[in-house]
Structure 1
Amino acid sequence: MNQKKYLVLVAMLVIASMVLASCAPAATPVVEPPTPVAEQPTPVVEQPTAVEEQPTAVEEQKITLAIEHFSVIEGTTWSGAQDRAGKRIAEKYPNVTYVFRENVAPDQSVPFAEEMIADGANIVVGNAEFMGLPLVDIADTYPNVYFGSVIASDLTTKQNFIRFFPRQYQALYLEGLIAGALTQTGNIGIVSAFPNVQVIRRTAGFILGVQDAAALLNKEVTVHVKYAGDWYLPAEEQSIAETLVDTYKVDVLTQQTDSGSTLDVAVAKGVWFVGKDMDTVGEYGWSDTNTVAVSFDTRWEVIYEQMVLDFMAGNANPETVLFPGMESTMTLADGTVEPTVD
């Protein structure tokens, strides 16, 4: 328990960089007393003036943000976080409507997109690369629509086809510090989907954190990575997690997949779980802090807000690769400032 608290403190000290801003006091204006002027009554003839209220650009520009989710939303962290992002954008901007489709396969991406465009969608996003990339095929057909897709390994862009991914490896490094402090067996397990650039980047961030914790605490720790073959395969994920605990003596589990199966195994086996993409306890109420040591949160709304603001501004050449991290934030409708990841 002391080791856990110690490493949690280390992780918090790493992330808690303070930004101090100071401003010089403004000069006090000198106001000279006014010279008394005798008031002369002046006849005033009021001329009625017809003033037509002009709506602002934001009020005129109706935007529909359409997100195609590769999986179901309920019970998932990846699509769940992106669904929350769409809702938060619509809450903040009265002229923005959020619509979605879920469980979208690659061959459904374009038909669903065209259906939503016909209904008024002007920003269409695929929330995973394998089913978002087909949208590039219709980008030229709809030049006044922004399209977007998560980056996994491919970096294809067009003038109106935007690619994005948050710097989740920053938060995963901190989670690695905590996992390295928690393990007593010296074995940590990752239930992963399949190798691609972002999966490897995320895994590397986590392992670097584990290694630094191990060096600090003079421990030998091994990280075991097993692949399910896809993002959302609950049965396969469960089987891998059970094998990691039973065969590899893992006492800390984490995942690069999207179902809740790995957490279920952690609860059943009595081992620690390190989550991803959302605060699984605080946001979803999954399990409790007796099992879930930490679960970083991803605010996709930081990315979607930039796309929305560019569209509102009529930007025909938006930035086509977005890669924000902890330094980038969004102020929500209630005034809360949220970083991209933490």
Structure 2
Amino acid sequence: MRHDQACDLLERLVSRVDTVIVGKKKEIELAVVAMLYGGHILLEDVPGVGKTMLVRTLAACLGGTFGRIQFTSDLMPSDVTGVTVYHNHNGQFQFRPGPILANIVLADEINRAAPRTQSALLEAMEERKVTVDGVTHPLPKPFLILATQNPLEYEGTYRLPEAQLDRFLMRITLGYPQPDHEVEMLGRFQESRPIEELKPVMLLEEMSLMQRQVRTVFVDEVIKKYMVEVAQVSRRHPKTILGISPRGTLAWMGASQAMAYIKGRMYVIPDDVKAVAEAVLSHRIVPKTESRISGIYGGDVITELLNQTQVPIFSRAKGLSS
């Protein structure tokens, strides 16, 4: 597939999702960027702003198999991964796959499940496989988890462990729509449900091909040094307990490659790096208690780091220079 053909398909995908999720084109684009890199997405916001609808819309536009897990306090790991069942009639065990064995998985209200169930997701998210009763089952390709969660202040929520948060490529917040966008949404949903009319925009095989092409997008050495410098400063920042991990730096580079790809380039520029920085890095920063009390969170630290670190200068004629 030529790059221009891929960009046309991706533009159609963003536009199609925008017919359902009104006024959130930037957030939709970030979600598509994450999917292009093959990374998992965490949608965090208050109830009712369209988190679950966004996941369902993306799944409808991509086709493939879809699994949904409604996380509750009594959810067991086997409810996620599947279970081995013994059949009396033939004396054999048979694996009954759980909803995690699908191309696109909606993990709805993920922070309402207990830590034991959360741990069942770690192997799937990192290694793209699940182990049940000592037998390993590979997950289909492509495989994406799109999780939603409510803020921790809400009743019945658990804090996700840092190790699990670090496995999400991006954390995206939708926020409330602008008044004119909300009026437009009411008009679209007055007599029909647009999501029920959606048809796949692209095949999963096409998405897999794009994911492979994204890995070939050129990243200059100066860009890599810039990202590492920001990560190093975050690890010794006076307002943080935990800074950006090496996995976070890899995720930042991959998301930057995907952003360049969706913009029609096969090379990364500083604007790509900055465009994805907050979504990729803010949930990997753990501020100190006194910082949180003062209202300083991961996104604020990332903004500060980007403002303080010298950005590489891009020249079309000479490439990048520090």
TM-score calculated relative to the size of structure 2: 0.28
Q: Which has the higher contact order (CA 8 A, sep 6+)?
A: 2
TM-score calculated relative to the size of structure 1: 0.27
Relative to its length, the structure with more helix (as a share) is 2
**Which entry has the higher C-alpha Rg, 1 or 2?**
1
